[in-house]
Chains A and B, each alone.
Chain A
Amino acid sequence: MQESGLTTFAAIFMGVSMTCVTILMVWCFWRILSEPGASAGVADAGPGPGEDPGPRGRA
């Protein structure tokens, strides 16, 4: 079987797949790099913005 080239559906699947993973990666790194200390120490004793609200530890 010889295809004549990149079909429309192949281009769509390829484009959407590659775009999604690229956007996800870029977004992740943008979030990380926009926070202070991304290239400094990892240890952070404070709570993060996504932390569960409410009292810590056992209820």
Chain B
Amino acid sequence: MSVETHQKEQWATRIGLILAMAGNAVGLGNFLRFPVQAAQNGGGTFMIPYFISFLVLGIPLMWIEWTIGRFGGRFGHGSLPGMFDALTDRKKPWAKYLGVLGLLIPLVIFIYYTYVVSWMLGFSFFSITGDYFGLADLSQMRQYLYSYQNIFDPSMHGGWLALVFFIVTLAFLGWVLARGISGGIEKLALIGMPLLFAFAIVLMIRVLTLPGHAATPSQGLNFIWNPKWTSLGDPKVWLAAAGQMFFTLSLGAGHVHAYASYLDANDDVTLTGLSTAATNEFAEVVLGGTIAITAAVVFFGVTGAVAIAKGGTFDLGIVAMGVVFQGLPGAAIWGQLFGFLWFFLLFIAGITSCVALATPTIAFLQEQFDWTRKRAAYGIMVVALVLGLTHVVFYNFGFMDEWDYWAGTFGLVVLGTIEIILFAHVYGMDRGWKEMHRGADIRVPAIFRPIMKWVTPAFLLILFAWWGWNDAIPTFLMKGVSNPANIPYRWASRGLIVVLGIIGLFLVRKGWERSEYEVPDGRAEP
């Protein structure tokens, strides 16, 4: 696909672009992962390593990803294989194959994340219909969720129900993506993001004005924000903060680059990138830090909330909150309404991330194989449905856990490390700094130049080494798998990722063989 074809698609408005990028970043993690991480890693003192991570990891890498994306877009590339090829001046044949990570990771995450997001659509429906009302304790609500997730357990749901909501979600995503950048993704963001913020603010006010139950709202806030000073000396807390910063800004996955590739060559990335990060941080720290854990403490007390937080994202976000809504004053009406607001807020947060996750693959199919956007969008939805069936059927066998770890956790750090080394040390910081400031509305403070060249890569390498040694190796060896009977399914899950990666490498090779590489104005890359 030529440069002109790629750039026929552009963002219509700057606000739309920022909201789309913010939607890309704002997801389930803002509302569920952050408060748990803060509460478990030192409370208020977690914000010290968190904000330091924002300055030396989050915002530098965000600016770099925007820059790489816009740079690649000038050459008609909306995905990392082409972008990495361009960054290496097309002189390193291996670069485009490294870029396959920027197709594999977002696609793998897209498939299972869409399935999880479809649960939020389902629970929005169950809230408004009051379907789970009457299951007023954690164990009953947990069974309700389990029956929904497990197609072999029809005790509370038909086995087909999760599949129905998955198909509906995929169909909606296909429809949005087929309408293009400005006609689909941007419009979704312009409608969805203000709704998300409105719902979150309403819920925040509701939670903060709750009458005391097992605890008061101020005790709930204290649970998250009260500083535990000794945690500052614990390296795990610093690593947890760095990890949270990675996930919350959606770094290291290739979809920030994809969005940025639809910018004009002289569009600003510095102020726009900072705005995206700032919007995400507002959603996380102000809204996410206030709703779920606070509500859990009010209803279950601090001890109960600790147990819920240990149970993970879905225990907090679905099970505990499901019980909370049933305990609200006037639950028959208000509980159902607030339940709908909560789950639909999570659905919006997730769906705006899903469209971003699908974009690199769509762009790749367009640019390398001349697929139309519509064909690529619906084609990916079909692939996602077929592969997503493995999660629908094998969810309770740990199938999704493997994808979530290798693509959605470890993979992000791997790709983030690769891209910053390519940008700062192969493309070069001089050229990179200049490229970043093309059309810039604000100058990045000079201190960020050595940070990007030395501090951020060092931080990422430490993160990579630490997680590799403490986490990836035991995970690879299946240590800690509670049910040995699941091990074959987990290996099958890993095998599927490897197969997808090999297909990606093959497609890159085929794509390069058939495509012409065009440069703007026929000149070599400046």
Contacts and interface: CB of A to CB of B under 8 A. Distances in A.
Question: Does B bind A?
Answer: yes
Contacts of A42: 10-14, 17, 263-264, 267
A2 B271 contact: no
Interface string B439-467: 11111100000000000000000000000
B44 to A, nearest CB: 3
B412 interface: no
Interface string B1-43: 0000000001111110110000000000000000000000001
B278 interface: yes
A43 B8 CA distance: 12
Given A2-B219, A9-B44, A17-B47, A48 B13 contact: no
Interface in A1-31: 1-7, 9-14, 16-18, 20-22, 24-25, 27-29, 31
Contact of B275 (A9, A14, A29, A58): A29
A6 B285 contact: no
A28 B15 contact: no
Given A21-B278, A24-B282, 15 more contacts: A12-B44, A13-B226, A21-B281, A25-B275, A25-B278, A28-B274, A31-B271, A32-B14, A32-B271, A37-B14, A42-B11, A47-B438, A48-B266, A50-B268, A50-B442
A35 B441 contact: yes
Contact of A9 (B15, B17, B223, B227): B227
Query: Chain B contact residues: over half helix, strand or loop, or mixed?
Result: helix
B225 A45 contact: no
B353 interface: no
Interface in B201-229: 215-216, 218-219, 221-227
- Sorting the interface of chain B by its residue count into under 10, 10 to 19, 20 to 34 or 35 or more gives 35 or more
Nearest to A21: B281
A59 to B, nearest CB: 9
Nearest to B54: A21
A5 B444 CA distance: 41
Instruction: Name the 10 nearest CB pairs between A and B, nearest first.
Output: A13-B44, A50-B440, A28-B275, A25-B278, A10-B225, A10-B226, A43-B264, A50-B443, A14-B225, A21-B281
A9 B48 CA distance: 13
A10 B15 contact: no
Contact of A17 (B270, B274, B285, B441): B285
A41 B14 CA distance: 7
Interface string B352-378: 000000000000000000000000000
14 contacts: A5-B222, A10-B44, A10-B222, A10-B226, A21-B282, A25-B282, A28-B278, A38-B15, A42-B267, A48-B268, A49-B442, A50-B440, A50-B442, A52-B433
B302 interface: yes
B514 interface: no
Contacts of A27: 278
